[in-house]
Copies of this chain bind each other. A is one copy, B any other.
C-alpha cells in the first residue's frame, strides 16, 4: 500500500496519480483544522526545521503555519549570510546537523538540486519548498488541488478540461511542474499563451504531448482565454538576465474585469501563483477582479496550507491519527463562517 512515511517530497516527477489522490484526500481531511472548526494536537512536540535560504515570506509562513495547525512547533532560518554555509559547510553536513534536532525539514534554496543534495544527509523527511529554477512541488500540488476543487464547483473534473497557461512560460517554474502533473490526467487541452521568447520549453511540450494532450501555442491572450482554467504567471523578473530584459514584458499580459468579460467564459476560473504585482505598469490580475467569484487566487493560498498539512501528516505517519488528537477551539474565528 502506498505510504509516504519517512519519505522526502522533492519533485513532482516522483508522483503518480495514485500518490496525488492520496495527498488530495488527506488535504481535504485537513480542512476543518485549517478553518478552525477543530484543532488537532497530533504533532505536539514535533519540530519542523523551516530552512529558507532564499527570501520568501509567504511560502515560509505557509509551511510554518501548516505545521503549527497539526500541533507542531517550528524553528526557522532565513537567508544565507548568517548560516554556517557562509563558512564553507556542505549541504550534507548541514543536513546531518539539523536532522539531529528536527522531525521534518521544509527547505527553499536558490540552487537547482540543492534540496535533493541536502536530503542525502537528512534522516528526517525533507520537503522541497523550491530549489531555484528547478522545482516547487508543493506549489504544483496546491495548483492542481485548486483546479480539481474549482472544476468541482461546476461538477466537472480535470480529465477533458481546457486550461490556458498565460505569460512567462519559459521561466515559470510553477507552470512547468503543473504541466507535468497534468500528464497523469486525460484529454486536457492546453493553450500555451506566451509572448515570443517566453514560450513553454520543449521538454515540457514533449511530455504533455506524449501524455496524449492537445497543445496550442499562441502569443496573444485575445481569443485564447475562453478556457475552464486560466492560469496567469508572474513575470519571473529575478530569473531574467537583466532588469531591462524583464521590463520588456512587464504588464503585457494583463487581465482586468473588462478583459475577463470580453475573452473568458462565464465560468473561467482565474489562477495565479502570487504574489501579483499591483504596481501600475505591471498589473497581471487587476484589483477590479477582486469581487469576481471565479478569482481563485486566495483559495489557492488556502489549498496550499492544506497540501502542506497533508504532506507533513503523510511523511510523519499521522494522517490517520489526526482525529484521535482533536481538541475544541475556544476562540472566535470568521473562517468558520466563511
Show the binding face of A for B, using Cβ within 8 Å: 5-6, 36, 39, 41-47, 49, 55-58, 61-62, 64-65, 68-69, 71, 73-75, 77-79, 81-84, 86-90, 92-94, 96-98, 100-103, 123-124, 234, 237, 274-279, 282, 287, 290, 298, 301-302, 305, 315-318, 321, 324-325, 327, 329-335, 338
Contact = CB atoms under 8 A, between A and B. Distances in A.
10 contacts: A36-B103, A42-B331, A57-B82, A65-B101, A65-B102, A84-B275, A90-B287, A100-B298, A103-B333, A318-B331
A65 B47 contact: yes
A89 B277 contact: yes
Contacts of A71: 45
Given A36-B103, A68-B73, A101-B61, A332 B317 contact: yes
Nearest to A278: B90
B331 A101 contact: no
A335 B102 CA distance: 10
A331 B46 CA distance: 8
Contact of A88 (B43, B75, B86, B282): B282
Given A68-B47, A69-B47, A331-B318, A77 B61 contact: yes
Given A75-B61, A287-B90, A332 B6 contact: yes
